[in-house]
Structure 1
């Protein structure tokens, strides 16, 4: 019998830990501490004989296995880290080193660790991993004692961000141990961002440190976009790997397969985010006025990245352009990764557009809810693909997304919004991004008949609320033959009624007119003009 110990590591309540502050630096610091606690600190806490050859990047030596080691990291990704140890004593000693460091250097972050002994020769490792993650860790999370922070004795000053007892001063503000720790890792976070996305540094643009750096203009209502994207069906792919290697004889093959998949997923997500940065950088290069408006501050900041779960913030009018680019690039990147066997993975994104100083935790929760809304549509329609949903919070958000849409977007005729939408054109539904973009482009095109005619657009918006008869009266009043067309909509009469059954066709496009900058069009126009200039020069 060859007995080893499987150890699984996870964190809890990380949404509140990362997104609970209204200061971008603290959100970034929280994300960096979670990343360090589940990767670099894990590697550094391992016993001397292990398979990690680069503590910073997490590069493994696949030739070094548990047969000759004290510990072998199987994979780190998707929020979990899974390790094989030679003995339970080694596993417990590792846990002590890791948790002491987390307590000391990442106050407030909760780490959960579960151990399970198993027989390498008689038990399928894939099943042991599934049980440890799905049963043991879940039970520990459920039974853990909630933290009870000391709220102060005698005369104390509350932290400006958390309300806990302040233990120091940072930027002339009293802060708790948690905020001090998040502040200390700003340089590490910036270094990791530059390593993952070097084009930001090559462009010599300033990386934003505050929400105001994303493009706020003094005296004007400025919006930021919180974009949250998450892969679809990643768990099913992991389960499929486990089923493929479900015998003890295939334990080594399982390790290689799940490790390769984890690394492929991380590479694809990083490549997709890099494509987002390329689009924003390309727009800066293509439009000098745009770059000058931001005073060389790059109006995009990833907060959570490195896996299929990605969150970034940007200037409000770029949110949809960048979210669409991420989804498209993620599909393409996964299709080219060997672990996906030529079958692209899909993802969904939620885009919350909120005022710059809106409570960030609430904005993030909205983006998560929007992402779930897009996933739910795919599930209900039984469509395998990518989708996105968005919401513009022009005032405070009260209630769930469903309640908001019932209150603000439901009229007698039906639903004013077409959201969520599929990423690609589809025979299943006209509610897709190409259709929406076609309509929006006709409203915002500087050479079009709708541009700079706000009174007419406002009148159309109110007519849409009142139903098809009011839209037809609107067309007669303004002597218009029809509304903008989108060939993909195969519902007769929508261009004269504004509705396709119980769904309004145009309301979303009108609402988005003031909140959308077409970055892709600017980049393509610049490339076209450059090619023409080059051709004329010949």
Structure 2
């Protein structure tokens, strides 16, 4: 009998820990502490004989296995870290070292650890891993005693961020231990960011440390976009690997497969985010006038990155274009990874466009709801693809996304919004990004009849609220034959009524007019001009 211990690590209340502050530096620091706690600190707490080659990058040696080691990291990703230990004593000693460090250096971060004994020769590692993650960790989370912060003693100074007892000083202001740790971690996060995305520092750009540095222009109302993207059916792919290697004799094959998949997923997400950053860089090179508006502050800041769950903030008018780029690049990156077996992964994104000083926790919560909305649409339509959804909050937000849309985007005819949208054209539905983009272009084209005619656009928006008969009256009043068309939109009569059944065709495009900069078009137009100039020179 060869008995080992399987250990799984997870975090709880993670969204509140990372996104609970209105200060970008604290959000960044919270994310960095979670990254450190679930990766580097785990590796540094392992017993001496392990398979981690580099504790900073997490590189693993596939040739070093548990039969000659005290501990073997199976994988770290998707929110979990799974480790094999030779004995329960080694597993418990590791847990003590690791949790003490988390308590000291990441105050406020809540973690959960579960152990399970199993026999390598007679038990399926895939089944044991599933039980550990799905049952043991879930039970630990339910049974844990929530931590209660110390609210005050006889003489205290409140933290400027949380109102809890201050125990540190940051920039001359009293802060709680958690906030002090986040500020220090935020500085380290900048180092990791420049390693992952070196292009952000080229041409003298600075990485923003405050929401105001994401493109705020003095005297103008400023918006930021909170973009949250998440892979689709990643859990199902993990289950498929487990089903493929569910025999005890396949335990080593299971480790290789799940580790390769986890690493491929992380590479793909990082590649996609790199390409997203590069699109913005290319647009600034192509159009210096846009770049100059930002005063050398790069108007994009990743907050959560390193897995299929990605969150970044950027200037409000870039959010939609960058989200689309990320989804496209993620699909493409997974297409080239052998661990995906020729079936590229897809993802969904939620984009919350809010005023710069809007409560950030609410903005993130909205972006998460929007991402879930896109996923729900895919399930309802039974479509395997990527999708996106967005909301522009021009004022305060009250209620859930469903309540907001029922209150603000419902008319007698039906739904004013066509969102969520599929990323790619589909025979299942006309509600796709390519169709929406064509309609949006019709309104923002500088050479088109709708550009710079705000009164007419505003009148159309109000007519759409009134339904088909009001739109027809609008066309007669402005002596228009029809509204803009999109070739892929094969619904009869929409250009005369503004509606396709109970869904409005144009409202989303009109609303987005002032909140969209076509970064891809800027880059493509610049390249075309360069090619034409080069050809003329020849």
TM-score between both structures, scaled by the size of structure 1: 0.99
TM-superposition CA deviations, 1:379-435 (whole Å, max 9, x none)? 000000000000001111100100000000111100000000000011111100001
Please tell me whether residue 427 in structure 1 is matched to residue 390 in structure 2: no
- Give me the whole-angstrom Cα distance separating, in 2, the residues matched to 1:291 and 1:206: 12
Where in structure 2 are the equivalents of 1:46-61 lying within 5 Å? 46-61=46-61
- Give me the whole-angstrom Cα distance separating, in 2, the residues matched to 1:202 and 1:295: 14
TM-superposition CA deviations, 1:214-244 (whole Å, max 9, x none)? 0011222100000000000000000000000
Partner of 2:469: 469
TM-superposition CA deviations, 1:187-217 (whole Å, max 9, x none)? 3201111111111123431001000000011
C-alpha displacement at 1:296, in angstroms?
1.3
C-alpha displacement at 1:172, in angstroms?
2.5
TM-superposition CA deviations, 1:363-393 (whole Å, max 9, x none)? 0000000000000000000000000000001
Partner of 1:100: 100
Local SS of the residue matching 2:11: strand
TM-superposition CA deviations, 1:135-156 (whole Å, max 9, x none)? 1100000110000111110121
- Give me the whole-angstrom Cα distance separating, in 1, the residues matched to 2:492 and 2:144: 58
Partner of 1:510: 510
Partner of 2:129: 129
Structure 1 stretch displaced more, 408-417 or 155-164: 155-164
Instruction: Tell me if structure 1 keeps the 8 A contact 2:269–2:306.
Output: yes
Partner of 1:312: 312
Local SS of the residue matching 1:388: strand
Please tell me whether residue 201 in structure 1 is matched to residue 201 in structure 2: yes
Partner of 1:394: 394
Partner of 1:415: 415
Instruction: Tell me if structure 1 keeps the 8 A contact 2:157–2:166.
Output: yes
Partner of 1:116: 116
Local SS of the residue matching 1:301: strand
Partner of 2:23: 23
- Give me the whole-angstrom Cα distance separating, in 1, the residues matched to 2:162 and 2:345: 38
Matched residue count: 538
Partner of 2:12: 12
TM-superposition CA deviations, 1:296-335 (whole Å, max 9, x none)? 1110000000100000000000000000000000100001
C-alpha displacement at 1:536, in angstroms?
2.0
Partner of 1:87: 87
Please tell me whether residue 361 in structure 1 is matched to residue 365 in structure 2: no
C-alpha displacement at 1:168, in angstroms?
2.1
Instruction: Tell me if structure 1 keeps the 8 A contact 2:29–2:187.
Output: no
Partner of 2:379: 379
Where in structure 2 are the equivalents of 1:263-302 lying within 5 Å? 263-302=263-302
TM-superposition CA deviations, 1:16-45 (whole Å, max 9, x none)? 000000000000000000000000000000
TM-superposition CA deviations, 1:422-472 (whole Å, max 9, x none)? 000111111000010000011001111100000000000000000111111
TM-superposition CA deviations, 1:328-363 (whole Å, max 9, x none)? 001000011000112110100000000000000000
Local SS of the residue matching 1:221: coil
Partner of 2:37: 37
Partner of 1:484: 484
Partner of 1:139: 139
- Give me the whole-angstrom Cα distance separating, in 1, the residues matched to 2:84 and 2:384: 35
List structure 1 runs of 4+ shifted beyond 3 angstroms: none
- Give me the whole-angstrom Cα distance separating, in 2, the residues matched to 1:158 and 1:528: 58
TM-score between both structures, scaled by the size of structure 2: 0.99
Partner of 2:180: 180
- Give me the whole-angstrom Cα distance separating, in 1, the residues matched to 2:135 and 2:204: 48
Which ranges of structure 1 fall in alignment gaps of 5 or more residues? none
**What CA RMSD, in Å, does the superposition of the two structures yield over aligned residues?**
0.7
Instruction: Tell me if structure 1 keeps the 8 A contact 2:444–2:450.
Output: yes
Which ranges of structure 2 fall in alignment gaps of 5 or more residues? none
